[in-house]
Amino acid sequence: AQSVSQHNHHVILSEAASLELGCNYSYGGTVNLFWYVQYPGQHLQLLLKYFSGDPLVKGIKGFEAEFIKSKFSFNLRKPSVQWSDTAEYFCAVKGLDTGRRALTFGSGTRLQVQP
Amino acid sequence: NAGVTQTPKFRVLKTGQSMTLLCAQDMNHEYMYWYRQDPGMGLRLIHYSVGEGTTAKGEVPDGYNVSRLKKQNFLLGLESAAPSQTSVYFCASSYPGYVGQFFGPGTRLTVL
């Protein structure tokens, strides 16, 4: 079975600080990986995704993530956060040969950016 | 396109009451999903459907039933609500060949 771990449950940063949120998954086969963001009071929105190719993927709003296959990781980064990045961030994985069509989500990381 | 919509947005129930949450999508997607979101637990799959007339259980199906009588609608039912079903419910849809999902705005349900 596939699973996703997000070890940082709550992160507090000041504006302009750099961000890295950890995501590790457990699945031995080929995976597609996602980061979703949920701003306060809103629904989940896709931030970025990795399907294949360049392991460094860039998403919206200056976010990027790096897929490191050997570490089963897909960490999210942003060089300089803004107050508007305050949100909850979810990592998700889909194993391509499981037959399972749904995504498996991590427990989420709540990011609070202080002005 | 309205995308994925959910009705209602908020609801408060008493223990033992029943209700149905409606998810609708206008993107002609084959696949639809119901998740629940609880603090510290992320999103967990309740039920899903890979096409009209078909449904399947997810990770946490107990206490819920679903129906997909029309391709564009996916209904989630609670026959006898319990406080443990207090949660935010998200519907999502997708289509063959795309592994991501499109999410609705969520329904916040409180069971007293």
Query: CB–CB of B99 and A51 under 8 A?
Result: yes
Q: Which pLDDT does position A83 carry in this prediction?
A: 96
Instruction: From chain A, pick out residues whose CB is under 8 angstroms from the CB of B101.
Output: 102-103
pLDDT of residue A114: 95
φ, ψ (nearest 5 deg) of residue A52: -170, 175
Asked whether the beta carbons of residue A43 and residue B42 sit closer than 8 angstroms, the reply is: no
- pLDDT tens profile A31-41: 899 999 999 88
Region of poorest pLDDT, from A54-63, B10-19, B36-45 = B36-45
Of B43, B48, B100, the CB nearest to A90: B43
Name the closest residue on chain B to residue A94, using Cα atoms. Answer: B99
| A-chain residue closest to B6, CA distance | A43
Do residues B14 and B78 touch, judged by C-beta distance below 8 A? no
Nearest-angstrom CA–CA distance, A27 and A60:
27
When pLDDT is cut at 50, 70 and 90, the band that residue A98 belongs to is low
pLDDT of residue A99: 61
Q: Is residue A107 within 8 angstroms of chain B, CB to CB?
A: yes
pLDDT in tens, A65-79: 999 999 999 999 999
pLDDT digits over B67-95, tens only? 999 999 999 999 999 999 999 999 999 99
Over pLDDT 70: what percentage of chain A? 95
Residue A59 has pLDDT above 70, yes or no: yes
